Amino acid sequence: MKELIKENRFYGYGKIARVLGALLLIFSFATLISCDRDDDPSDNDFFAGTYRGTLTFAEGTKEVNTSNGSVFVTKIGSATKYNFRFSDGIPDINGLEFQKEGDNTMTMVGSTGASYIRITNNNLTVLYSHNGKTWTANATR
């Protein structure tokens, strides 16, 4: 019976298919495990999410203070712009540009003594003044 199968002109293609299948499986496995282990969170959406902690906001006579507030951080459009949505009726801050600072840290472009926002993998620090309004946050996730 084996002689009949060997005489069949398609006999060699079964071995080729098995070898190609095995190579495809090995390539797929290698691709999955070769992800960049040194991925820097500042290069992706790692900072997006909810940070909880102490928040303040002041505008004229209006003041909001909470020790149990939250800030939802969203990366927008480009790799360097973020929006900040505050809880407790505090107005949002939108479209701020950030730059990488060291490893795993983003700092607002144009930070000064009056305006500074820093995001790390676990912490959000905000001191931001704009048009007579001032936001602060000291939050973690």
Gap between the Cα atoms of 82 and 5, Å rounded: 66
Q: Which long-range contacts (CB under 8 A, 24 or more apart) does 16-20 make?
A: none
> Is 17 a residue whose pLDDT tops 60?
yes
pTM of the model: 0.66
- Mean pLDDT over 45-51 rounds to 83
Least-confidence region, from 9-13, 66-70, 86-90, 123-127: 9-13
> Is 24 a residue whose pLDDT tops 80?
no
> Is 40 a residue whose pLDDT tops 50?
no
Contacts of 43 (CB under 8 A, 6+ apart): 79, 100
